[in-house]
Amino acid sequence: MEEKETPPEELEQTVVLLGVSPSTKGYPHPSQSSTHALEWTLEKLIRKSCRKEFKLMILHVQVPDEDGIDEVDSIFATPSDFAEVAESDRKMSHRLLEFFTQKCHDAQVPCQAWIKVGDAKEVICKEVKRLKPDILILGSRGLGPLQRIFVGGVSDYCAKKAECPVLVIKRRPEDMPEDASED
């Protein structure tokens, strides 16, 4: 008779919350920094022999456009155009999360993933407050101080404000694109 394994729920797991973002090229491409952050987590943190002791949660915060509309000319847009755009955004966000959850699946690490809409840094801190993860992991482009002024780092903000330990994973120097603000 096969020995019954302890269901993961019965262990006091380390809850890891990973925030992921799309590429600066746009949806549904994943950003290089989020991809690297997940790969690092699967390789270095959630080690093979202790997969069951971790719970991985993947959050994507979809940033609404300032006028709430993206691909449609806002002057001639009808309510149904808005609805279509919202639907298309939702699909794109789902495709982005599929990329990350597939990676977890391939590494045999179970995960949960969900989407929120709003300002990324504020939503992430709010979700930390709500879910109380043990650790928040964020990728970072690793920009210099001058570039930071213009780009405004989500990871910088969360490292200071989030109410849990925060791990910031910068891109490796060898992965850095010529224009470091690309991601």
Binding site for a copy of itself (CB under 8 A): 14, 40, 44-45, 47-50, 53-54, 134-135, 145, 159-160, 163, 165-170, 173
Rounded Cα distance, 32 and 168, in Å = 14
For residues 85 and 135, which CB has a smaller minimum distance to a copy of itself in the complex?
135
CB nearer a copy of itself, residue 4 or residue 44: 44
Least separation in angstroms between residue 14's CB and a copy of itself is 5
Q: Judge contact between 158 and 138, C-beta under 8 A.
A: yes
Residues 88 and 80: beta-carbon distance below 8 Å: no
Q: Where are the beta strands (DSSP E) in the chain?
A: 14-20, 54-62, 111-117, 135-140, 166-170
Q: How far is the CB of 121 from a copy of itself (least distance, A)?
A: 15
Give the Cα separation of 94 and 115 in Å (integer): 8
Residue at 79: amino acid letter: P
In whole angstroms, the minimum distance from the beta carbon of 116 to a copy of itself comes to: 23
User: What's at 93, amino acid-wise?
Assistant: S
Q: Which C-beta is closer to a copy of itself: that of 58 or that of 85? A: 58
**In this complex, which beta carbon is closest to a copy of itself, that of residue 56 or of residue 85?**
56
Q: What is the largest CA-CA distance in the chain?
A: 68
**Taking the complex as a whole, how short is the minimal distance between the CB of residue 38 and a copy of itself, in angstroms?**
12
